[in-house]
Structure formats: C-alpha cells, structure tokens
Copies of this chain bind each other. A is one copy, B any other.
Amino acid sequence: MSPDRNPTRHDRDSVARAALALLDEVGLPDLSMRRIAARLEVQPSALYWHFASKQLLLAELADRITARVPIAESDPVACARGIRDALLAHRDGAELVLSTSALGLGSAHAERALLRSLPEQNPERAAALLHFILGHTALVQQRMHAHSHGAASGDDDPTAGLDRVFDLGVTAIAGLSATRPRARA
C-alpha cells in the first residue's frame, strides 16, 4: 500500500560502486557486465539504462580511482606516491586507468596535481611523470597478482627493489636528482 514498493532500484552511482567492488574481487579480465548485473540482482540489459556501454562504465571507474589523489601535495615525490597509492587501492587500477585515459579525462586530475607539485610548473615534466607512474604501477601491480596467483619460477617477492626504481624515476623526471656524481663536490 506504500507508494515506494520496489525493493531495489539503482542509479549510476550504485552501479559504479558495485562494479568497483566486483573489480577488487575478480579483477579486470573477469569484470563482465553480466557479473555486475548478477551482483545487483538485475538483468544484464538493465545496466544499459545507466551506462551506454561497458567502456563508459569502465571510464567512470577510472575517474573514481583517480579522483582520490590529493591535489594539495607540494612535493612531487609525495604527489607521485599519492597517485601510485590511489592506483594500487583497487585491483588492476593502473591498467584500468591506463587503458581508459585516452578518451576519458580520468588522468587529467592526476596530471594537474603533479603540475602543481612541481617547482617550475613544467607541464612536460608533469606529463612524463604521469606516464612513468602509470607504466611502473601497471607493471608492479600485475607482477603482484601473478606472484600471488602462483605463476611460475622463484617464490621470492618480485616487488623487491621496485620502490627504489619508483623513487629514482620520480626524482629524476621531477628534476630533483643529481645528474652524475661527478667527483663528490
């Protein structure tokens, strides 16, 4: 007799949230529209009311992932770590952002944050930093997953030493590192 009778109606936000949660459980290759629909107890076709295509839904997820990077970092290294952490916060986050950043402006927010953190606000350095962070994090993240899923070869952590590679890359591109020791002035 109540006017609101339907048990679960969804909107863009609830669909995106369910998809993001499912991403963490199953990973990007197994994140299908049909699985997302099943999680929402809805027919697959229902999703197309909220998102015109799977690509657009994935772009929304990428936007939500990058939206969490802090804008106020003054140090490029801290800013870069913030971006990396946002990407690592969700399974296959880096690969998702990387593969959707062509169309969606998902990575634009991260790039702005980098630009602001740079001493001379050099946009080319900001772009290079973003490219490095995305490539590095995508590699690290999938190596993590391959290792945990017991892929092959040695059983020692393949992430070892990669933090140093990250810092080296960021400081170098940001223009903060010594070029060459050149004696020891």
Contacts and interface: CB of A to CB of B under 8 A. Distances in A.
A124 interface: yes
Interface string A15-43: 00000000000000000000000000000
A51 interface: no
Interface in A168-185: 168-169, 172-173, 175-180
B103 A146 contact: yes
Given A102-B143, A119-B180, A172-B172, 15 more contacts: A98-B98, A98-B138, A98-B139, A125-B168, A128-B136, A128-B165, A128-B168, A128-B169, A132-B136, A132-B173, A133-B135, A134-B135, A134-B138, A168-B173, A178-B179
